[in-house]
């Protein structure tokens, strides 16, 4: 997108629309209040997960990068069969309990002054007006995959506890919807889930919905929509990515699409456990290719943002080669500037597009 150059200083806020912070704290056993070097050293001897010692996210690095507001997840999927490539829990009750443990961690971070919950317009405005740089990291609570919702009553309970966005599916078949690498539309319970989400005022996260569910959701759900961490199928062919028609449909609904930094979603031909950032040459500039593609399809920069998904079960072994920490996200606005994006468009992509959607979606 060729827009006017600007030399204005960067805004004091960068918005990341998708981080699995509680998963890292509870399941990866990472104390995210500690410096990144400490976390890596603490894990250097571990081999239970491919990303051990290669994490990129902690609260000090978020502050260092000026990432003052994030969408932070609860995540606990159901294992639907013994051959599922993604581990899960054996029952909805167990999955619900895991999300409640994750919720308790966020609450503990609030009590420690490390984080602050943004759940309505007043809390959003108060957080944005708070002084920096010692300020707590603000977070909007989102549920990635709805498998842990035992009954629709849980939606009311979770809303009262601050949950504001839900992605109905994750990988494979789900309790309510089908996700990445699966097919088929919403079941009857899933359609009721969308209706109740609509009534309560949730944001629908279209990320991970399989194609059939995506198009049904566009028709059935009337409330606000975003795609928190979703790249472009035209650049990396895979059902996990958004096709151009999907991007157009999201734009028509006023959605914002967050660019993800998982390397296999950034460049084509990535082979898990074989490819490396060095062998593929993947860089942050390739992430900007996806952002630019969204802008070109949309005809403006109003629908693009950043939803990094950093440390979403991967680390620097599967990120752009020129990224060592989440604080390096600050280079994305610089790369957009180098491509001729205007100051206003850059501010939109770095934060304002998601903030506008969020302010309109949050209750007063």
Residue 300 and residue 318 in contact, taking contact as beta carbons nearer than 8 Å? no
Topology, domain 15-361 = TIM Barrel (3.20.20)
pLDDT in tens, 110-163: 999 999 999 999 999 999 998 875 689 999 999 999 999 999 999 999 999 999
Percent of the chain with pLDDT over 70: 94
- Tokens 């409330």 locate to 223
pLDDT at 85 over 70: no
**What is the pTM (predicted TM-score) of this model?**
0.95
Q: In the prediction, which pLDDT does 78 show?
A: 92
Q: Which two tokens stand for residue 128?
A: 């944005």
Q: In the prediction, which pLDDT does 9 show?
A: 34
Q: In the prediction, which pLDDT does 84 show?
A: 58
Determine the 3-state secondary structure of 281 from DSSP.
Answer: coil
C-alpha distances in Å from residue 134, one per residue of 60, 63, 138, 237: 10, 8, 12, 42
pLDDT at 298 over 50: yes
Mean per-residue pLDDT, 312-318: 97
HSE (side-chain half, CA atoms, 13 Å) at 306 = 29
Q: In the prediction, which pLDDT does 87 show?
A: 79
pLDDT at 8 over 60: no
Q: In the prediction, which pLDDT does 12 show?
A: 54
SS (H, E, C) 67-114: CCEEEEEECCCECCCCCCCCCCECCHHHHHHHHHHHHHHHHHHHHCCC
- Tokens 């990396």 locate to 236
Q: What are phi and psi of 180, to 5 degrees?
A: -50, 135
Confidence at 105, pLDDT banded by 50, 70, 90: very high
Mean per-residue pLDDT, 351-355: 98
Torsion of CA 110, 193, 261, 324, to 10 degrees: 20
**Average pLDDT, whole number, for the chain?**
94
Torsion of CA 196, 197, 198, 200, to 10 degrees: 80
What one-character DSSP code corresponds to residue 9? P
pLDDT in tens, 168-197: 999 999 999 999 999 999 999 999 999 999
- Angle between helix 153-160 and helix 188-200 axes, rounded to 10 deg: 30
pLDDT in tens, 210-248: 999 999 999 999 999 999 999 999 999 999 999 999 999
Mean per-residue pLDDT, 42-65: 96
Mean per-residue pLDDT, 329-342: 97
């Amino acid at each position: 997108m060729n827009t006017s150059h600007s030399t204005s200083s960067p805004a004091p806020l960068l918005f990341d629309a998708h981080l699995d912070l509680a998963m890292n704290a509870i399941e990866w056993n990472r104390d995210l209040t500690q410096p990144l070097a400490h976390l890596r050293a603490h894990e250097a001897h571990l081999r239970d997960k491919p990303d051990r010692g290669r994490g990129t996210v902690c609260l000090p690095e978020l502050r260092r990068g000026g990432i003052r507001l994030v969408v932070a997840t609860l995540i606990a999927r159901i294992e639907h069969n013994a051959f599922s490539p993604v581990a899960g829990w054996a029952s909805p009750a167990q999955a619900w309990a895991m999300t409640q443990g994750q919720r308790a961690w966020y609450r503990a971070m609030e009590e420690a002054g490390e984080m602050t919950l943004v759940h309505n317009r007043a809390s959003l405005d108060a957080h944005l007006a708070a002084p920096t740089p010692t300020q707590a990291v603000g977070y909007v609570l989102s549920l990635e995959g709805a498998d842990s919702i035992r009954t629709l009553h849980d939606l009311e309970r979770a809303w009262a506890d601050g949950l504001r966005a839900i992605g109905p599916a994750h990988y494979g078949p789900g309790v309510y919807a089908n996700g990445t690498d699966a097919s088929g539309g919403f079941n009857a319970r899933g359609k009721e889930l969308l209706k109740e989400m609509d009534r309560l005022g949730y944001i629908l996260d279209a990320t991970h919905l399989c194609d059939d569910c995506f198009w049904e959701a566009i028709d059935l759900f009337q409330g606000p929509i975003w795609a928190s961490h979703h790249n472009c199928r035209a650049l990396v062919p895979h059902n996990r990515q958004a096709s151009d028609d999907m991007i157009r449909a999201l734009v028509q609904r006023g959605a914002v699409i967050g660019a993800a930094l998982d390397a296999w979603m950034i460049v084509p031909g990535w082979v898990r456990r074989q490819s490396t950032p060095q062998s593929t040459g993947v860089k942050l500039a390739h992430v900007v290719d996806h952002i630019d593609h969204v802008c070109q399809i949309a005809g403006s920069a109003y629908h693009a943002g950043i939803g990094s998904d950093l440390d979403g079960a991967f680390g620097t072994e599967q990120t752009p080669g020129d990224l060592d920490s989440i604080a390096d996200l600050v280079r994305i606005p610089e790369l957009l500037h180098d491509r001729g994006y205007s100051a206003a468009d850059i501010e939109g992509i770095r934060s304002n597009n998601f903030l506008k959607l969020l302010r309109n979606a949050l209750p007063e």
